[in-house]
Each structure stands twice: as C-alpha cells, then as structure tokens.
Amino acid sequence: MRLARPYSGVFRGGATARTGPHALPLARIKKIMKRSAGDGSGGDGTGARMISGEAPVVFSRACELFVAELTRAAWAATLDGKRRTVHREDVAQAVRDTDLFDFLVDVVKDDDAGHEDGGDGVVGAGAGEACDDDGGAL
C-alpha cells in the first residue's frame, strides 16, 4: 500500500483544501504575489497580472510550514533557556542554529545593546501582523 506524502493533501480536502479554512488569507497572499511580481522579475518588465487559483493555496501551505518550523526551533531555544515565553532572542538563536534559516541571518539579529522597535520583543510589524517591503503593516 502506498503511503500518503506530507504534501499530498494540499489540493484535496482537509484544512489546506482550496475550499477549506486557511491559516493565512488567500486574497492577501495573492496581493503580495502580484506586488512582488510587479518589480519586473517576470522577464518582460510588466510583472504578473494573473495568478492561477492553485498558486495562493500552495504559497499559503508553504508559509504555514515555514512558520511552524521556525516556531518549533524558537520554542526549542526557549526551553534551552529554561523559560516558557518565546522572546526575540529565541527566534534569533533558532535562525543562527538552523541551516535552513541561513537566509534570515541578516534580517534577525540578536543585538543586546538595544532593538530598533524599542525592545518589546516583537519581530516585524506586530504580533500577527504582516508587513510590506517597506516594513509597514499591510
């Protein structure tokens, strides 16, 4: 008997189906995809005007998996510090310790001298809030 692979349920049924509930809003993902494609990276300089129906679903699932893995690694760093609350430095430690997150080393820095956002421990725009390319909330 053939076993299901981890991504086999993306297009049929379950929490990741096109008609099912999503952790991230598909309209927001589509908007971000169009905005990032508008920089001319499409080759002809015009960007993407149309995005297939499946693309936002796949990106949504990929984002869910990315956030879950980063959260798991940050939680492990929190437990190593014998705490029960995830702090900014736990996320930075997870990024430094995991090869998968090497592309984030420049984005998340663990500087003890002070943080740009006032030191409240929140990375980015705000808790649960997406930000655009300029760092502002969407």
What pLDDT is recorded for position 1? 53
Give residues with Cβ within 8 angstroms of 90, minimum separation 6.
74, 75, 77, 78, 81
- The end-to-end CA distance of the chain, in Å, is 46
Confidence of residue 101 (pLDDT cuts 50, 70, 90): very high
The model carries a pTM of 0.60
Q: Is the pLDDT of residue 82 over 80?
A: yes
Calculate the average pLDDT of the chain: 73
The larger pLDDT score, comparing residue 57 to residue 113, is at 57
Q: Are 16 and 22 in contact (CB under 8 A)?
A: yes
Helix (H, G, I), strand (E, B), or coil: what is residue 131?
A: strand
Strand, helix or coil for residue 91: helix
Q: How confident is the model at residue 95 (pLDDT cuts 50, 70, 90)?
A: very high
Instruction: Please count the other Cβ atoms lying within 10 Å of the Cβ belonging to residue 53.
Output: 9
